[in-house]
Chain A
Amino acid sequence: MGSNKIFQVLINEIRLTIPELADHPIARNDAMADLGVNSMERGEILIATLEAINLEIPMTQLHGPSNLGELADLIHAKSAQQ
Chain B
Amino acid sequence: MPNQHNNNPPLAVTGIGAACGAGFGKAALKGALFGSRNLFSYLERPGRQSGASEAPFIGIELPEAPPTILPQRIDRTVGLSGRVAVSVLDEAWHEANLDGIDPKRIGLIVGGAGLNSREQAIAATSYSERPAFIPPRYGHVFLDTDVGAICTSAFPIRGFCRTVGAASASGLVATLQAMQAVRCGQVDVCIALGALQDLSLFDLQSMRAMGAMGSERYSAAPRKASRPMSQDHDGFIYGEACAALVIERLDTKRQHYGILAGGAQSVDGNRGPEPNSEAQQKVAHTALQQAGLQAGDIDYVNGHATGTPLGDKTELETYKELGLNKAWINTTKSILGHGLSSAGAIELAAVFLQMREGQLHPCNNIDPALDPTLKWVGSAPQPHKIQNALKFSFGFGGINTALVLKAPSSEDLA
**In the complex, which residues of chain A have a beta carbon less than 8 angstroms from the beta carbon of B76?**
17, 19
Per the CB 8 Å criterion, the residue count for chain B at the interface is: 12
Sampled A-B contacts (12; CB under 8 Å) = A17-B76, A18-B72, A18-B73, A19-B76, A20-B73, A40-B137, A40-B140, A41-B73, A44-B137, A47-B135, A51-B133, A56-B132
B73 engages A47 (CB within 8 Å): no
Per the CB 8 Å criterion, the residue count for chain A at the interface is: 13
- Shortest Cβ gap from A60 to chain B (Å): 13
B130 engages A19 (CB within 8 Å): no
Q: Check A44/B71 contact, CB under 8 A, given A19-B76, A51-B130.
A: no
CB within 8 Å of A: which B49-83 residues: 71-73, 76
- Shortest Cβ gap from B76 to chain A (Å): 7
Does B136 count as interface, using CB distance less than 8 angstroms? Answer: yes
Does A74 count as interface, using CB distance less than 8 angstroms? Answer: no
Does A50 count as interface, using CB distance less than 8 angstroms? Answer: yes
Does A43 count as interface, using CB distance less than 8 angstroms? Answer: yes
CA distance A43 to B77 in the complex (A): 14
B133 engages A50 (CB within 8 Å): yes
Which residue of B71, B130, B134, B136 contacts A40 across the interface (Cβ within 8 Å)?
A: B136
B137 engages A20 (CB within 8 Å): no
As a 0/1 sequence over residues 39 to 55 of chain A, the CB contacts with chain B under 8 angstroms (1 = contact) are 01101100110110000
As a 0/1 sequence over residues 13 to 26 of chain A, the CB contacts with chain B under 8 angstroms (1 = contact) are 00001111000000
CB within 8 Å of B: which A3-34 residues: 17-20
- Shortest Cβ gap from A37 to chain B (Å): 9
**In the complex, which residues of chain A have a beta carbon less than 8 angstroms from the beta carbon of B73?**
17-20, 41
Q: Which chain B residues have a beta carbon within 8 Å of chain A's beta carbons?
A: 71-73, 76, 130, 132-137, 140
A-B contact count (CB 8 A): 29
**In the complex, which residues of chain A have a beta carbon less than 8 angstroms from the beta carbon of B140?**
40
Which residue of B72, B130, B132, B136 contacts A44 across the interface (Cβ within 8 Å)?
A: B136
- Shortest Cβ gap from A32 to chain B (Å): 13
- Shortest Cβ gap from A67 to chain B (Å): 21
> Which A residue sits closest to B136, measured CB to CB?
A43
CA distance A56 to B132 in the complex (A): 7
CA distance A34 to B386 in the complex (A): 59
CA distance A56 to B129 in the complex (A): 13
**In the complex, which residues of chain B have a beta carbon less than 8 angstroms from the beta carbon of A47?**
133-136
**In the complex, which residues of chain A have a beta carbon less than 8 angstroms from the beta carbon of B133?**
47-48, 50-51
CA distance A44 to B133 in the complex (A): 9
**In the complex, which residues of chain A have a beta carbon less than 8 angstroms from the beta carbon of B137?**
40, 44
**In the complex, which residues of chain A have a beta carbon less than 8 angstroms from the beta carbon of B132?**
50, 56
CA distance A41 to B74 in the complex (A): 10
**In the complex, which residues of chain A have a beta carbon less than 8 angstroms from the beta carbon of B136?**
40, 43-44, 47
- Shortest Cβ gap from B351 to chain A (Å): 40
- Shortest Cβ gap from A71 to chain B (Å): 16
CA distance A17 to B136 in the complex (A): 12
CA distance A20 to B135 in the complex (A): 20
Give me the 6 closest cross-chain CB pairs, A-B, nearest first: A43-B136, A51-B133, A19-B72, A18-B73, A56-B132, A44-B135
- Shortest Cβ gap from A57 to chain B (Å): 9
- Shortest Cβ gap from B70 to chain A (Å): 11
CA distance A22 to B295 in the complex (A): 62
A48 engages B135 (CB within 8 Å): yes
CA distance A43 to B135 in the complex (A): 8
CA distance A18 to B133 in the complex (A): 19
CA distance A73 to B101 in the complex (A): 51
> Which B residue sits closest to A17, measured CB to CB?
B73
CA distance A70 to B355 in the complex (A): 65
